[in-house]
Amino acid sequence: MRRSLMSLAVFSCIIGFSTPASAHFQEIIPSADVLEDGGSVSLNLIFTHPFEGAPVMQMKKPVRLGVLDQGKNVDLLPRIAEKPVDGKEAWTVSYDLAEPDAAIFYVEPQPYWEPAEGRYIVHYAKVVVDNYAFGEGWDELVGLPVEIQPLTRPTRYLDGQRLFRRPSEGR
């Protein structure tokens, strides 16, 4: 699970690649991808080499950080907190998920200068957290300039069952 989570977060939306040997990407890693009992999720934002786990790179405060929750875009920048990793600037944010639904967290980091390509690059990234293992809403788009729309459910099932129904679906 950890690996698929990572690949979702890392490969969600990437403009431009540097050479694979030195592949650094924006990470947005939630504390859980499915909250079986609802509650709070925290996400770590790290600019690093995900497959090697290091070295961590400096990540300036992002331009945008938000979540699409219950069909509404919530700005999470006011709640962001610094959480350095290996002495490099990195960030974290916590968010309470109230209703059964998939919440889609996303980040627009500041552009960084990629010497290998002679250009600035922005790693848009997003990740889905399924609250109460609801199992729907994960394919909604948050409206990034480049964005992958999942064609299959990116979060795990609980015994193949949904635990909750929307109120409109009745019993």
Q: Least Å distance between CB 112 and Cu ion?
A: 10
Q: Least Å distance between CB 127 and Cu ion?
A: 21
Between residues 47 and 138, which has the closer beta carbon with respect to Cu ion?
47
Q: Least Å distance between CB 61 and Cu ion?
A: 20
Confirm if 162 and 55 have CB atoms less than 8 A apart: no
Residue 123 binds Cu ion (CB under 5 A): no
CA distances from 57 to 51, 84, 85, 147, 151 (A): 14, 10, 9, 23, 32
- 124 three-class SS: coil
x/- track of binding to Cu ion for residues 99-118 (CB under 5 A)? --------------------
Between residues 24 and 123, which has the closer beta carbon with respect to Cu ion?
24
Q: Least Å distance between CB 143 and Cu ion?
A: 28
Nearest residue to Cu ion, scored by beta-carbon proximity: 24
Confirm if 133 and 34 have CB atoms less than 8 A apart: yes
**# of chain residues touching Cu ion (CB under 5 A):** 2
Side-chain-side CA neighbours of 144 within 13 Å: the count stands at 28
Where in 17-76 is the site for Cu ion (CB under 5 A)? 22, 24
Position of tokens 């290998």? 116
The runs of H, that is alpha helices, within the chain are 2-11
Torsions phi, psi of 155, nearest 5?
-120, 165
Sites of contact with Cu ion (CB under 5 A): 22, 24
